[in-house]
A and B are shown apart, each in its own frame.
Chain A
């Protein structure tokens, strides 16, 4: 491979940082999903809690969510950003800042793994980490932001490509969300109490929580889509104008949607209504993004049959479309009355998480690997991984929908005498066992696919090392 210094730029790009983030992505994917499979087993088979405090569901679940969101998805986004940003700006990122960012972020992940199982938590979903780690996150984020804006400031291409807009809103909004949600008064080194209480605290947390979905799991992944899908399809993006409109609509509307997590709570009615309405409107910019991605393939649809990378990306974008249709639907008050608290929400989460974040990440990694190391060791394993992941998602999501509807309907069932049809809660819990087992198998399949990918990449790197002596493959 030749160094990617297209258009005659004299700059060489820092691809070692991309390789580092790439490796971290694969490692944490396996770890985070393994923990997911363990907690899935615990719901199907309670003795899997093993009577060990550090391994119970309540302590491992935050470990799962942190590992998959911030470690797997986070590192995947950083991999894609460092690779694409340098090329879109035609300038090298700052080597030292990049390394502080990388090692700082991995340090935060390790400290999460060393605190959450021990019960050190703030109990705020997706913001569980204790206050000293919160400070570390803020510092590392600032380093990343400086590196990001430094690269923009020194860019050699005047125009900012669509992907960069999405990255930018990720960098800025996550900083705002993190800081506002983390404001707390420490009681000890490991415990603090938020400045907000009760319903205000709940609103701040879900303003954060929903927008973690929006600005950590959505906007940066749209940025990745806008860079890697056209690259893989060898087609320009369908519509520039559409990308402008859906970008601004998305960032403006998303931030309002948090209260859909608190429908029928003590939150003032007007806040609930506003949250619900904005969530429903969100379908428009979300589908704008999906269509812009899918239509980029116009004239290249045959590649969908032959190119596993295109398969990963297209299925990823399709799941994005599906979960952003489902989400607005679940924000309708009467639907939420049924879906809220149930496994339906978990199905929704994972159609986004496995389908959108997972598949886009895998597609991106498979596209990058040959450009970072040389030919992928086994091409047919890539297709095999695609099918394992896809079947895994379907088993996961369909079982959780069915399980969610089952419990939602049983909770609310009232008999002819006006009494609860299923007054004993545990009776309903027992009905869910087959769904929990199906999800466990689907998740295991998804995990095995990720392991196959990890193995494939290890062999790819080994091949590159072996070939390295005679013909350097690394783009440097």
Chain B
């Protein structure tokens, strides 16, 4: 057998490779070192209050849209992470800061750019653009390889289901106002009505409970808080 070639006794063989339990303990110790050094400081990261000023949790309708973004796996083609390079800030806008993500749970940084980055997409296009784009990406972006998402125009989100998400996020410490938590369906409806009214101005008729409304609300929110903070820090002149 291949394992019997070394018949001479090495000291480490006697103390280690012959002892299953000790070997197991040491191999866990070996991975514990790096894990602790890197992870533990991050667990205790506490952003200074002035760092998170101006960064707000997603509204209930945006949470609904975010759940759909996760469900459809948008993050597998789109990053939400603008790196601090000139070529990226030119294309997308100001680079992404750590504290902007404090209410991103689960994080959606992504690892691929089959499509463009979305971290600064909020406010870049109007609602009608997104409405057309999600139904048929080629109508707004000729040559795009993104799939059509026709079901977002048929399926409705369930406010009770969204409330379950929002309440869980609140439990995990996302600061929602009490009146929002008291009437999550109401908060959803109010924001959805705004999106619907805006679309109507572009001659698009859609019911407020359709999934596309939530997705648009989420996309239009992306990167806004961070961008506003940076603009304010740079002197508010812009």
Contact = CB atoms under 8 A, between A and B. Distances in A.
A177 to B, nearest CB: 9
A237 to B, nearest CB: 6
A122 to B, nearest CB: 6
B107 A248 contact: no
A113 to B, nearest CB: 15
B86 A414 contact: yes
Nearest to B31: A255
A301 interface: no
Given A203-B42, A275-B38, A160 B143 contact: no
B7 to A, nearest CB: 10
A341 B79 contact: yes
Interface string A188-219: 10011111111111111101000100000000
A236 B6 CA distance: 10
A88 B4 CA distance: 10
B147 A237 contact: no
Contacts of B17: 159-160, 165, 244
Given A59-B72, A119-B71, A158 B18 contact: yes
A103 interface: no
A255 B35 CA distance: 6
B5 A240 contact: yes
B91 to A, nearest CB: 6
Given A121-B70, A172-B28, A265-B81, A271 B38 contact: yes
A259 interface: yes
Contact of B75 (A123, A149, A199): A123
Contact of B18 (A88, A159, A176): A159
Contacts of B112: 341, 345-346
Interface stretch (A24-32, A364-372, A418-426): A418-426
Given A265-B81, A411-B91, A423-B91, A168 B27 contact: yes
B109 A168 contact: no
A265 B23 contact: no
A46 B145 contact: yes
B206 to A, nearest CB: 18
A198 B107 contact: yes
B105 interface: yes
Given A57-B77, A159-B3, A265-B83, A198 B98 contact: yes
Given A187-B168, A207-B35, A426-B143, A197 B87 contact: no
Contacts of A180: 35, 39
A119 B20 CA distance: 42
A230 interface: yes
A123 B70 contact: yes
Interface string B10-42: 001100011010011001101101110111011
Contact of B38 (A235, A252, A259): A259
B87 A411 contact: yes
B34 A255 contact: yes
Interface in B18-76: 18, 20, 23-24, 27-28, 30-31, 33-35, 37-39, 41-43, 45, 67, 70-76
Interface in B74-110: 74-77, 79, 81, 83-88, 90-91, 96-109
Contacts of A57: 73, 76-77, 147
Contact of A256 (B38, B96, B142): B38
Contacts of A425: 91, 115-116
B113 interface: yes
B126 interface: no
Interface in B148-193: 148-151, 161, 164-165, 167-169, 171-172
B22 to A, nearest CB: 10
A176 B102 contact: no
Interface stretch (A14-22, A48-56, A314-322): A48-56
B201 interface: no
A76 B96 CA distance: 41
A2 to B, nearest CB: 16
B230 interface: no
B233 interface: no
Contacts of B75: 123
A235 B5 CA distance: 10
A111 interface: no
A280 B25 CA distance: 27
B2 interface: yes
Contacts of B143: 426-427, 429-430
A132 interface: no
B197 interface: no
A159 B13 contact: yes
B148 A51 contact: yes
A123 B34 contact: no
B3 A161 contact: yes
B72 A419 contact: no
A231 interface: yes
Contact of A168 (B6, B23, B71): B23
6 contacts: A123-B106, A188-B164, A197-B102, A265-B109, A414-B87, A426-B141
Given A53-B72, A172-B28, 14 more contacts: A53-B149, A56-B72, A62-B73, A88-B3, A121-B70, A169-B30, A176-B35, A180-B35, A193-B165, A198-B104, A205-B107, A258-B38, A271-B41, A429-B145
Interface of A: 6, 42-43, 46, 49, 51, 53, 56-59, 61-62, 87-88, 119-125, 149, 152-153, 155, 158-162, 165, 168-169, 172-173, 176, 180, 185-188, 191-205, 207, 211, 227, 230-231, 235-237, 240, 244, 248, 251-256, 258-259, 261-262, 264-268, 271, 274-275, 278, 337, 340-342, 345-346, 407, 411-414, 419-420, 423, 425-427, 429-430
- Top 6 A-B residue pairs of the complex, sorted by shortest distance between their CB atoms: A58-B73, A266-B98, A198-B101, A119-B71, A230-B2, A49-B147
Interface of B: 1-3, 5-6, 12-13, 17-18, 20, 23-24, 27-28, 30-31, 33-35, 37-39, 41-43, 45, 67, 70-77, 79, 81, 83-88, 90-91, 96-109, 111-116, 141-151, 161, 164-165, 167-169, 171-172
